[in-house]
Amino acid sequence: MRSRASGFTLIELLVVIAIIAVLASLLLPCLAHAKRRARMVEEMSAGRQEVLAAQMYSDDFQGAVFPGYVSDPTAVDGRGQSLSHPINARYPWRLVPYLAKSMDLIYSGENRTLLAKLRAQNYSDYVYSVSVFPSLGINSYFIGGHESEFPAAQANAVFGAGTVVTKTGDIRSPSQLMMFLSARSKVSGSESQGYFQVLPPYLRSRLWAVNSKSASTPNQWGFVAPRFGQRAVAALMDGHVEAFGPAEQQDMRRWCNTADRPDFTLIR
């Protein structure tokens, strides 16, 4: 008698394939979540390092808050060459001396790809570009002030002392006030997962769109990037880091030292 050849039937193969497809559909979202979580943890580490660097700056300058946007003629690039405006006004080259001169601590996660691309360019283009696209933007209006758009002395004279913090001792709640926040921008039609500043949801009136999904351009959500499941990494003035959802991102008490409610607006 001839022995029957062993093997799978077509139906058995189809069942196995279906089972694999179901398992894959269940596993892929978990893998995506784990990958997003890993990127968020890396960005949180970057934010923690940046606040620590800003605190070191304050120690060197008798408690002065690291400025959000201010021309600094002493700022130099990686080769020790003096930088001109606006490069020396944005925070990356001013902060990097307190980060062991490592721009890799300012560019985190998927934004590291951009950093590698910029490094391969002409050096002068690299110096300019890396000042624009760090992974986290600084709260430039209310932390140290923005010299051309929201000067600290002028804002404090008009809206009250402490509106813009310039001394660490003037901060009412360091554990509540944000310094750095996940940022994004759009240049020449393409979006970048980084920007040198983030802007508040309110000044004299609301500036942001209704929600981040309705914002057609990054500036309509203050350049804030809710890239971790609608959450953004926030590094606060006391040195701790959190992942904030939409409510916290829009809470003016997180932005302004003198704000007393989420929808706080500035009144002359």
Do 108 and 45 contact (CB within 8 A), yes or no?
A: yes
Q: Is there a domain that residue 7 lies in? A: no
In a domain, 161, yes or no: yes
Residue 263 lies inside a defined structural domain of this protein: no
User: How many domains does the structure of the chain reveal?
Assistant: 1
Residue 152 is assigned to a structural domain of this protein: yes
Question: Is residue 192 in some structural domain?
Answer: yes
CA distance 10 to 12: 5
- Whether 4 has a pLDDT exceeding 60, the answer reads no
pTM: 0.87
**Domain ranges, residue 219:** 13-254
Interatomic CA distance for residues 171 and 258, integer angstroms: 9
Q: What digits encode the pLDDT tens for the residues 194-212?
A: 999 999 999 999 999 999 9
Residue pair 180/237 in contact by the 8 Å Cβ criterion: no
Mean pLDDT throughout 18-34?
71
Residues 6+ apart with CB under 8 A from 193: 109, 110, 111, 114, 135, 184, 225, 227
Q: Model confidence at 5, in pLDDT bands (50, 70, 90)?
A: low
Residue 1 lies in a domain: no
pLDDT digits (tens, 9 = 90+) for 80-130: 999 999 999 999 999 999 999 999 989 988 888 889 988 898 999 999 999
**Is 262 part of a structural domain of the chain?**
no
**Mean of per-residue pLDDT scores for the chain:** 91
Is the predicted pLDDT of residue 53 greater than 90, yes or no? yes
Nearest alpha carbon to residue 137 among 40, 232, 258, 254: 232
Q: 185 pLDDT exceeds 60?
A: yes
DSSP letters of 226-268? -TBTTBEEEEETTS-EEEE-HHHHT-GGGT-TT--STT-----
Count Cβ atoms below 10 Å from residue 44 Cβ, excluding itself: 21
Domain-embedded: residue 17: yes
